[in-house]
Chains A and B, each alone.
Chain A
């Protein structure tokens, strides 16, 4: 099963390498990875999407916790959470396709952030299902390039 693990780490050189190296050394999966600073500049947040059986996930959590510079590890899959990903999608947009592309963008609340006579670039944000759906609909127009951020997630606050 897929798990989204958020890892708070010391914002120091080499920490990402230690975390990523741990995954490769122990034959764990990384499906996506995103790293960014937090409001506290000494701490960074790493969000890792991984998959595996429960025992493997338990090991991953423990192994991450064992890294000296790791401050906190949370498996967001275990609680109510929101996850998002942003994709930038460059498509071929010939005259005959341009209206359709705009309609798709509107339906998915995507923005067209760059336009040339031959191409559009769409920016779309959402959960992985939505990103997947947009990509599928745009495919017939000819996708030239896709860049995705990898997923980030946050726990929902209980009311």
Chain B
């Protein structure tokens, strides 16, 4: 049967099981939207900005593990999604973006709303394709979803010229994909796995270092089984949070720039690192020349380019994390050495790790302070939603606090922009996650800086009745920028002070959303409870201590053991000078 390109597009989405797409129409995609409008299987969420659409698709993809879908028009529609594409590229988010293109006869003529979509998106997609012939459309869409969802997941862009959406072709949706240049390795090399098992049994101070790859592989059970069998303490990157229960006795919390004292010290002293779907990002390793100086490295990753890119791997294992861990656990279980002896052997190291955890736990001082500490809000939100919420964050101080204090128990429940650090990601991504799981509690932990980068999507939350709970930690600063300025720029707050505008409660109300205000620690819990009880979306604005800093912190270029644990003395004096008139410096200074 012959179908138009637009009908082929929609039929193909159905075959892929797509229920929701996020997008905005425009000249060259009118036909696509017109066909979508006349059916019920695929719902279109009309966003207020294309950047909102792409981050929603990301949130959907991160929460479900299956490609989120966005559809935008040519030219500005496409250029507006570039940030989201690169974000998805860095964080391995499965995503398929469809962009409109001017008719094939006009391509290259600087037509109205023309941009070189393929050229612009090439470095920020796993793969991209311009469909020149409607006969190729179905197969291209099939391949796009296959590539986005398999191997190391990532964004794929399909560029559809207007004439391709209107012309007709025989519809045939392929059953399977066979790309001769793309065959990801799933199983690990048996010899390497045996070698790894040997190293693991020999090690005295091993650490399991888990990244986002474990989550995209869906390997939380395997990570846990592996850690418990070998009795090795676990640390996670911000992308890996949720791959191992935050409350588990073997959990050391996050590592890296704002990681726990315990995790970073363990990394520094380790004699064996088992990197599981992690890529040794600079925010994790700190100074490379002093990174885990005594450790041998086993590196499990599906992407060969992640291995030996930054840190040498003594035993590289290319493969899917879940599969390789199963294989590794199989080999370890068949080796001699009963669990009791493993436990005894690990005891001194575990004691050392526990000592570090006890020496410098994450901490903040709320008692006796009249201003709300942001960590307090996050801890309360964690207590009230324990292990039931999907947490989506924006980027900055609040993100790191959320990563520190939300000790998640499940994979795909902590969604954040890790690699690219995209402010403005959080709120639309939370909407995407909420759309995927309408009955779950979805928290958007954000700040006034990040939130204002995509606040227009409040309309989407209101219209589609998506009950996202926005926890806005408002310090009227680009907080992380201000923190660096305090630490490294003698307290000169260059362009980081955002002031008190807008009134977020009124803003929420303007969109028909419940707005709640918290002015001090006394009402934090009440506001959270009221917000969580409310059926619809809610924006909770928490006025927080403007000058709270996020610790521990490894200064950029520092090594793991060079953590700063509290405000250094020079900051007190520096701050007084930069305070506005009438502001009481001492009242807000951390103790």
Q: A58 — which chain B residues lie within 8 A by C-beta?
A: 308
Tell me whether A65 and B304 are in contact (CB under 8 A): yes
- Is A107 among interface residues, defined by CB-CB distance under 8 A? no
List CB contacts (< 8 Å) of B177-215 with chain A: 179-182
CA distance A70 to B304 in the complex (A): 15
CA distance A62 to B313 in the complex (A): 15
- Is B370 among interface residues, defined by CB-CB distance under 8 A? no
- Is B108 among interface residues, defined by CB-CB distance under 8 A? no
Q: B147 — which chain A residues lie within 8 A by C-beta?
A: 68
Knowing A58-B308, A62-B304 touch, does A68 contact B127 (C-beta < 8 A)?
Answer: yes
CA distance A59 to B308 in the complex (A): 8
- Is B119 among interface residues, defined by CB-CB distance under 8 A? yes
Tell me whether A69 and B181 are in contact (CB under 8 A): yes
- Is B303 among interface residues, defined by CB-CB distance under 8 A? yes
Tell me whether B309 and A59 are in contact (CB under 8 A): yes
Q: What's the minimum C-beta distance from A33 to chain B, rounded to whole angstroms?
A: 17
- Is B123 among interface residues, defined by CB-CB distance under 8 A? yes
Knowing A14-B122, A17-B122, A21-B122 touch, does A68 contact B179 (C-beta < 8 A)?
Answer: yes
List CB contacts (< 8 Å) of B349-389 with chain A: none
Q: What's the minimum C-beta distance from A62 to chain B, rounded to whole angstroms?
A: 4
CA distance A69 to B147 in the complex (A): 12
Tell me whether B119 and A17 are in contact (CB under 8 A): yes
- Is B505 among interface residues, defined by CB-CB distance under 8 A? no
- Is A35 among interface residues, defined by CB-CB distance under 8 A? no
Tell me whether B182 and A68 are in contact (CB under 8 A): yes
CB-contact partner of B305 in A9, A17, A25, A59, under 8 A: A59
Tell me whether A25 and B123 are in contact (CB under 8 A): yes
Tell me whether A14 and B309 are in contact (CB under 8 A): no
Tell me whether B118 and A70 are in contact (CB under 8 A): no
Q: What's the minimum C-beta distance from B555 to chain A, rounded to whole angstroms?
A: 25
**How many residue-residue contacts, CB under 8 A, span A and B?**
37
- Of chain A, the residue at the smallest CB distance from B180 is A71
CA distance A144 to B221 in the complex (A): 70
Q: B180 — which chain A residues lie within 8 A by C-beta?
A: 71
List CB contacts (< 8 Å) of A50-99 with chain B: 55, 58-59, 62-63, 65-71
Q: B304 — which chain A residues lie within 8 A by C-beta?
A: 62, 65-66
The contact size tier of chain A is: 20 to 34
Most buried by A among B119, B130, B147, B180: B180
**0/1 string, A10-28, CB within 8 A of B gives 1:** 1001100110010001000
Knowing A13-B130, A58-B308 touch, does A67 contact B122 (C-beta < 8 A)?
Answer: no
List CB contacts (< 8 Å) of B46-99 with chain A: none
- Of chain A, the residue at the smallest CB distance from B181 is A71
- Of chain B, the residue at the smallest CB distance from A58 is B308
Tell me whether B308 and A63 are in contact (CB under 8 A): no
**0/1 string, B113-127, CB within 8 A of A gives 1:** 000001100110011
Tell me whether A14 and B305 are in contact (CB under 8 A): no
Most buried by B among A62, A67, A68: A68
CA distance A15 to B189 in the complex (A): 30
CA distance A65 to B180 in the complex (A): 12
Q: B128 — which chain A residues lie within 8 A by C-beta?
A: 14
Q: A65 — which chain B residues lie within 8 A by C-beta?
A: 304
Q: B123 — which chain A residues lie within 8 A by C-beta?
A: 21, 25
Knowing A68-B127, A68-B179 touch, does A18 contact B122 (C-beta < 8 A)?
Answer: yes
Q: What's the minimum C-beta distance from A38 to chain B, rounded to whole angstroms?
A: 14
Q: B303 — which chain A residues lie within 8 A by C-beta?
A: 66
Q: A66 — which chain B residues lie within 8 A by C-beta?
A: 303-305
CA distance A2 to B514 in the complex (A): 64
- Of chain B, the residue at the smallest CB distance from A13 is B130
Q: B307 — which chain A residues lie within 8 A by C-beta?
A: 62
Tell me whether B119 and A70 are in contact (CB under 8 A): no
Tell me whether B181 and A67 are in contact (CB under 8 A): yes
Q: A21 — which chain B residues lie within 8 A by C-beta?
A: 122-123
- Of chain A, the residue at the smallest CB distance from B306 is A62
Tell me whether B182 and A14 are in contact (CB under 8 A): no
CA distance A21 to B121 in the complex (A): 11
**0/1 string, B519-532, CB within 8 A of A gives 1:** 00000000000000
CB-contact partner of B181 in A25, A55, A70, under 8 A: A70
CA distance A129 to B359 in the complex (A): 65
Q: A70 — which chain B residues lie within 8 A by C-beta?
A: 181
Q: A55 — which chain B residues lie within 8 A by C-beta?
A: 308
List CB contacts (< 8 Å) of B123-150 with chain A: 123, 126-128, 130, 147
Q: A59 — which chain B residues lie within 8 A by C-beta?
A: 305, 308-309
Q: B181 — which chain A residues lie within 8 A by C-beta?
A: 9-10, 67-71
CA distance A58 to B306 in the complex (A): 11
Q: A13 — which chain B residues lie within 8 A by C-beta?
A: 130
CA distance A66 to B128 in the complex (A): 14
Pull 15 A–B residue pairs with CB atoms less than 8 Å apart, ordered by A: A10-B181, A13-B130, A14-B122, A17-B122, A55-B308, A58-B308, A59-B305, A62-B307, A65-B304, A66-B304, A68-B147, A68-B182, A69-B181, A71-B180, A71-B181
The 7 closest A-B pairs by CB, nearest first: A62-B305, A62-B304, A68-B127, A71-B181, A68-B182, A25-B123, A69-B181
Contact surface of A with B, Cβ cutoff 8 Å: 9-10, 13-14, 17-18, 21, 25, 55, 58-59, 62-63, 65-71
Other than the known A69-B181, A70-B181, what 18 A-B pairs have Cβ atoms closer than 8 Å?
Answer: A9-B181, A13-B130, A14-B122, A14-B128, A14-B130, A17-B119, A18-B122, A21-B122, A21-B123, A25-B123, A55-B308, A58-B308, A62-B307, A65-B304, A66-B304, A68-B147, A68-B182, A71-B180
